[in-house]
Amino acid sequence: PHSTTTEMRTVVSAALLAVLVGSAQAYVAPVAMRPVAGSRQGVSMKLGGAPAMLPLRNRAATLSSVQGSSFTPAGAQTVRITSMNQARQVGREITTMALADGQKPIIIGLAADSGCGKSTFMRRVTACFGGECKLNDIGRETNTLISDMTTVICLDDYHLNDRAGRKVTGLTALDPRENNFDLMYEQVKAIKEGKSISKPIYNHVNGTLDENETIEPTPIVIFEGLHPFHDDRVNELMDFKIYVDITPDVKFNWKVQRDHEERGHSIESIKESIEARKPDFDAYIDPQKEKADCVIMVEPTDLAPGDKKTIKVSMIQCEGVEGYTPSYLWDEGSSIEWTPCGTKLACSAPGVKVFYGPDSWAGKPAQVLGMDGKFDQLDQLVYVEKALSATGSKYFGEVTEKMMAYEGQPGSNDGTGLLQTVCSLKVREIYESLTGKTIEVKEAAAAK
């Protein structure tokens, strides 16, 4: 499922060479979905309980449908991006690009509850465009992340009242009445038109509303927070919408691990905190997932009932989204469950299962790619990457390399990091498709 043409224009990083020994010629897609004799690998395809290959559903062809291929529309501009991350991106160099006159930013929305890993996710996205990602340099508290090509704006900045004010109203920050959607709409619209804005800042440290900051639009602007799709006016301005859906069981387990085991909070206080937020979350945040183009769902594992630390992660990809081609495992349109060979992807109990198949989401046709379980050696993920197509990567090994750049971060050894990485690469692909510009990763001088 991968192209090995010269258009790849890259060198696989030294960290992966040992894994990829044997060259691209040794890498071929499986021609049959069946267990390999003498190994612990197994594949099952579901169609009424019998092993079978489901036919590919007819759909209009979309750009870059094969991972590793390169597409440059006629007259398109090439954007060279470079960033020297010597530790994790060996030999990759990226040049910067400012927003050109008349260029309109691509607007991405990310909806999720607090504590769902939005910060790490956003750093994965910005890393795909190159350049150092850091807080806006205004000399005081800010929530805005800036890199050469991206800006990440936190929608908490549009709270109407500060923390003290919410105590007076008795409303939570999840309640739409505590958020200024008129200003949010005006400023998202201005950014989409390529205009700078002066936006408020919500100070998470002391709970105050601070002096405004000026934001200049960049080629990619991401609005993340509780309500990016709640207001229909704002929702219509989004070019691509992502929702992170953490089930209540996983939320509770994560908060117990963080607040009880690491911070000493009582189990009862944790339960009370979750229950206090639940009515507003159910009423105002959760319904937004039906408007999303891509949903990353995190659930308890199916591999070991009762295991509270292992998770199952699914990326639900709606079809028909402009500029987006769903990622898939081996054969597009089939339903596949794959237990990777234990000697090629080391993993502790309860193991790993990768799955893919057609589905629907909010009444729309969708494709689901997922991973249940966790793995032990991050560089071995390249074995799974072989089986994936249409990931938005520009060369074989980029998914694994991007994962290795965030080794040790939450989700770096399970489906959370894998699917966040794939989704991040797809955001880059959407940018290229909608703008006609190409972001190329070039070999750095240090690697020549």
d(CA 282, CA 271) in angstroms, rounded, equals 16
The reply to whether 364 falls in a domain is yes
* Pair (318, 426) in one structural domain: yes
* Pair (233, 327) in one structural domain: no
The reply to whether 399 falls in a domain is yes
Query: Exposed e or buried b for every residue in 356-379, given b needs 16+ CB within 10 A?
Result: bbbeebeeeebbbbbbbbbbeebb
State residue 33's pLDDT score: 34
State residue 309's pLDDT score: 87
* Pair (210, 307) in one structural domain: no
d(CA 234, CA 138) in angstroms, rounded, equals 27
State residue 263's pLDDT score: 54
The reply to whether 3 falls in a domain is no
Token pair of 153, please? 């704006």
* Pair (98, 181) in one structural domain: yes
pLDDT tens for each residue of the chain, 448 residues long: 444 333 333 333 433 434 443 433 333 333 333 333 333 344 433 333 333 333 333 333 322 332 333 333 333 344 443 333 333 333 333 333 456 667 899 999 999 988 777 888 988 999 898 878 899 999 999 999 999 899 999 999 999 999 999 999 999 999 999 999 999 999 999 999 999 999 999 999 899 999 999 999 999 999 999 999 999 999 999 999 999 999 988 888 777 766 666 556 687 877 887 888 899 999 999 999 999 999 999 999 999 988 888 999 999 999 999 999 999 999 999 999 999 988 899 998 999 999 999 999 999 999 999 999 999 999 999 999 999 999 999 999 999 999 999 888 888 899 999 999 999 999 999 999 999 999 877 533 333 3
* Pair (132, 198) in one structural domain: yes
**Beta carbons within 8 Å of 413's beta carbon, 6+ residues apart:** 374, 375, 376, 378
Structure-token match 């998202």, residue found: 188
Closest CA to 219 of 81, 118, 89, 120: 81
Closest CA to 158 of 232, 234, 216: 234
Strand partners, 223: 109, 153
* Pair (350, 228) in one structural domain: no
Residue 296 burial by Cβ neighbours in a 10 Å radius (0-12, 13-18, 19+):
buried
* Pair (236, 366) in one structural domain: no
The CA radius of gyration of the chain, in Å to the nearest whole number, is: 22
The reply to whether 42 falls in a domain is no
Question: How many domains, the chain?
Answer: 2
Tell me the residue range of the domain where 324 lies: 293-434
What's the distance, CA 63 to chain centroid? 20
Structure-token match 């919408």, residue found: 241
- End-of-domain residue from the set 243, 265, 283: 243
d(CA 414, CA 310) in angstroms, rounded, equals 8
* Pair (231, 137) in one structural domain: yes
Contact 116, 244 (CB under 8 A): yes
pLDDT in tens, 135-144: 999 999 999 9
**Beta carbons within 8 Å of 26's beta carbon, 6+ residues apart:** none
The reply to whether 17 falls in a domain is no
The reply to whether 106 falls in a domain is yes
CATH number at residue 119: 3.40.50.300
State residue 271's pLDDT score: 81
Amino acid in the structure at residue 401: E
Contact 336, 1 (CB under 8 A): no
* Pair (339, 238) in one structural domain: no
- End-of-domain residue from the set 215, 243, 271: 243
* Pair (233, 109) in one structural domain: yes
The reply to whether 103 falls in a domain is yes
* Pair (318, 220) in one structural domain: no
d(CA 356, CA 331) in angstroms, rounded, equals 9
**Beta carbons within 8 Å of 288's beta carbon, 6+ residues apart:** 111, 227, 228, 229, 230, 243
State residue 186's pLDDT score: 98
Count of other CB atoms within 10 angstroms of residue 72: 14
* Pair (237, 308) in one structural domain: no
The reply to whether 264 falls in a domain is no
Phi, psi of 210 (to 5 degrees): -95, 175
Amino acid in the structure at residue 97: M
